Structure formats: C-alpha cells, structure tokens
Amino acid sequence: MKEFIMLVVKLRPEQDEKELIISSDLAAHLSIGEEQDIKLQVGRNYKNVFLKVSPAEKNRHTIIINTSLARRMCISPNRKYAVNARGNTMQIGPVVGIMAENSRDAKKPFGGQSFFIKQLLQSGRALGQICFAFSPFSIDWKSKSIHGYSWGEKGWIQGRFPLPDVVYPREKAYSPVKLNIRRRLENMGVKFLNPALIGKWQTYRVITQNPSLVPFIPDTRLINSFSQVDRMIKKYTAVYLKPVAGSQGRNIIRVVKKKNDSFYQYQYQLNGRLVKGSASSLAQLRSCLKPVMGNRTYIAQKQINLLQSAGNIIDVRILVQKDHSGIWDVTGMACRVGRPGSITSNISAGGSGQKLETTLREKFPDKEKQQEIIEKLRFVAVEACRTLEGAIGSSGEMGVDIGIDKGGQVWFIEANLRPARQVFTLIGEKETRLLSVKRPMLYCRYLAGF
C-alpha cells in the first residue's frame, strides 16, 4: 500500500491562534518553506495562519497549534492524522462523513448499518482521517457544521463536525429533499463516493450500450401493459417481474405459463410470507398481482436457468471497488443461495452464502471451465461498473449480481450502488470483508486529493 504522510498534533494554549509551528522533518516531507502564510484546511473549514518551521521540535512529523483553534477545527492531540500540502494550503484529514438514516436506538444510532458504519469509522481513523456518521437532516447550513457520531473506546460519541471533504452515501433511498441536500453539499465543494441510486431499467439501458456486454444481458423490457408480460411469457415460458426502484429482492414476482397450460402460475413474497397462486386470464393475473405491484413501475426479464443447490437458486455477488489508486478492482466474489422455495437469493430474505470455488468445483469439474467462468465474471462485473460510471458519474463501489446458468454462461442481473457485504462474513472470508470496508475509505482519500 502507498505510504501516506502522517502527523501528530500538539496543543499549546498560549500560542497565537494565527500561528502554526511544524517540525523541520515534516516541512521537508511536505516541501514547505520556513516561514509563510498558509491556509490550514480541515474539511470545508479553513483558517489563515502563519507557518513557522521549528528545528528544535525533535518529534518527527509534528505540528503545534493553539488549543482553541484545534477544538474548532475538530483536531485532537496525541493522535495521528494524514496531511497533504498543495500550494499554500495544508490539509489535514481528509474529513469523511458517512451519511445514513438515524434510528432512535442509542446503541445502534444507524439501525442495522451501525456495525458496518462503526467499522468504517475505525478504518478511516487508522488511515489518519477525521470520520463521522450523520443523518442528512442534521446539517447546520448557517454554521457550516454537522451534528454527527464518531466512535471511541466507550462507544458512540455525539459531536459537531465540519462539512466533510467527502461523503460516503449509505441512505436507503433518495427523496427530492435528500437530493436537494446532496446538491447543496456538492455546490459547497463536498465530493460523493457514489452518485444517487438509479433504477433497474436505467441500469439495463446503459449496460446495453456497451457491445461487449450485450451477450451477457438477459432480454429485459419495461412494462407498459400486461400484454408485454404475456408476450414475454409466450417467448420464454417463465419471466421475472422486478420493480424498477426495488432492492433486497422485495416485490419480485415469478410468472410461469407452459405452452399447453391454460393457467398462469405466479409466486412472490409479501411481508416474509411466500404467496403462490394461479390465474386463468391476463386480466385475472393483473388483478392477483396488484397487492404486490401496487403502482410501481416494473420491468419483465426472462428467467435464467440458474445453478441450484439442493433445489435453491444460486447467483454470484461481486463487490467491485476503487481504492487510493482510483482504479476499479474486484474485492471479492461469493455465491448467494436462496432459502428453500424462494425465487430470489437475497441474504436479507433468508438466503445463505457459499464460496464461489466450492460451487464451481461441484457444478463444473473441468478446471479450465471453472477458470473460464471466473474470468467472465470478473470481466462482466468490472466492465459493467466502468460502463455505468461513464453514464451516471464518478463512482467508488458497486455490488454486481451475476447469474450462472447450467451451461456455464454468465448473465448480468443488476448493479447496486449501495452494496451489502454480509455474504463474505457468512462464508468465512474475514479478510475480504475487512478489505471491503477499507477500500472505500482509501478512495475517499483519493477523492479529497491526498
């Protein structure tokens, strides 16, 4: 890994607020002259100070700062920070904010994401960053500060933080109000690790513009009427109906009608309960599916003859991320196995995990075939990320779901801009899980210019 320059802060109450003293060793590393006016920047906050170099300061990579100024800039003594110098600006951090929905549980202030966010904060601190988590509704625009949470030895700590250099967005959905908050932050110079969430239909349309990916994309149509669903069923026998804005496998429906069958057979999950039924006509099918479809926009996708484990469907979750290099790379790949009777493989819906290598050895004994599939999985995942990024804007991570059919062909299913990584814990790949937490924080450094 690239070695970053780190510094230690010392506080001196009697020192002039407009004065910053740094060790000669640090000045040499940062190529800073002996005395000059500089801008000390922490997040979007900055202070004009006069920099002095102290040959007498024996500790390597040290800065000495006024106690009150340090408090206002969210800098604490005796801990290591990363530092960056550009022109006449010295930047400490970077400051990274994890944006997510709050919960009322003091022990889990960000609900089910609390443990993951805690890991992010710990990883960022180890990299010398100033990290905190916050709700998008806790921003004080007037003072340009945010009420948020950091993590310490005694647990969650509430405090005020400067507007960050980079935001790692982890909200579940984007309302017009949240999008406006995002735009305001961007207009103030804050960068985002990922763009706003996009729907399955937009993803499909972007991906199909890349000729190299077309052979891996199942036939998909936007549903404007149920006659389209009928045509897809006649062509493929079985189709999946998926909400454009859905996630975690919710509200997905499987519809089957064999050639000599007069009934449509359907299946979906509602509130954790498996619902099965049949309809004798297209109108009746539409009526039967109304409780789950509501007024949502749906796509219809041909069913892929996926690999199965003990009768349960399998797909592959591929986590593709950037780090401080700014280049897409596969962090990990794992199989997700749907729970018995389920039409999806989502872990959140009761699915389980399985090592990819184990699945491929079991289904494809030929080692060359296994390697061929792995290479195709990597190619489709990374190429899909590059293609989507080109259309939706700068991105730092995506969870790409890919199916493998019984012939070994791989099929792009979807890409998620808010990927979970629980599957790596389930299959015992602890190092992959830890890397999946560290890489976004390294990419935040890249975005902040460190």
What pLDDT, in 10s, does the model give residues 343-356? 888 877 777 899 99
Q: What percent of the chain has pLDDT over 90?
A: 76
Query: Predicted confidence band at 59 (pLDDT cuts at 50, 70, 90)?
Result: low
Q: Are residues 315 and 338 in the same domain?
A: yes
Which pLDDT belongs to residue 3?
A: 67
Which pLDDT belongs to residue 118?
A: 97
Q: Are residues 284 and 329 in the same domain?
A: no
Helices (H), 351-429: 356-363, 367-392, 422-426
Query: Predicted confidence band at 56 (pLDDT cuts at 50, 70, 90)?
Result: confident
User: How confident is the prediction for the chain on average, in pLDDT?
Assistant: 92
What pLDDT, in 10s, does the model give residues 291-312? 889 889 999 999 999 999 888 8
Q: Are residues 49 and 117 in the same domain?
A: no
Which pLDDT belongs to residue 2?
A: 56
Query: Predicted confidence band at 95 (pLDDT cuts at 50, 70, 90)?
Result: very high
Rounded to an integer, the average pLDDT of 8-33 is 90
Query: Predicted confidence band at 55 (pLDDT cuts at 50, 70, 90)?
Result: confident
Which pLDDT belongs to residue 419?
A: 93
Q: Are residues 352 and 205 in the same domain?
A: yes
| Residue 5 confidence (pLDDT) above 90 | no
What pLDDT, in 10s, does the model give residues 162-211? 999 999 999 987 788 999 999 999 999 999 999 998 889 999 999 999 99
Return the C-alpha torsion angle 147, 150, 152, 155, nearest 10.
Answer: 80
| Residue 376 confidence (pLDDT) above 90 | yes
Query: Predicted confidence band at 230 (pLDDT cuts at 50, 70, 90)?
Result: very high
Q: Are residues 202 and 346 in the same domain?
A: yes
Please report, for the domain that includes residue 82, its CATH number. 2.40.40.20
Rounded to an integer, the average pLDDT of 424-431 is 94
Q: Are residues 237 and 339 in the same domain?
A: no
Which pLDDT belongs to residue 58?
A: 65
Domain that residue 344 falls in: 195-217+305-450
Angstrom distance (rounded) from CA 243 to CA 253: 9
Angstrom distance (rounded) from CA 24 to CA 201: 57
Angstrom distance (rounded) from CA 15 to CA 49: 12
Pairing relation of β-strands 191-192 and 166-169? parallel
Q: Are residues 35 and 86 in the same domain?
A: yes
Q: How many domains does the chain have?
A: 4
CA distances for 356 relative to 216, 317, 332, 337, 381, angstroms: 19, 10, 10, 11, 15
Q: Are residues 422 and 449 in the same domain?
A: yes
Please report, for the domain that includes residue 138, its CATH number. 3.40.50.20
Please report, for the domain that includes residue 425, its CATH number. 3.30.470.20
Q: Are residues 200 and 64 in the same domain?
A: no
What pLDDT, in 10s, does the model give residues 139-174? 999 999 999 999 998 899 999 999 999 999 999 877
Angstrom distance (rounded) from CA 148 to CA 20: 28
CA distances for 403 relative to 44, 229, 316, angstroms: 43, 22, 6
Q: Are residues 292 and 411 in the same domain?
A: no
Q: Are residues 150 and 209 in the same domain?
A: no
Residue corresponding to tokens 């005395």: 35
Q: For residue 177, is it within any domain?
A: yes
Domain limit, last residue, from 60, 92, 124? 92
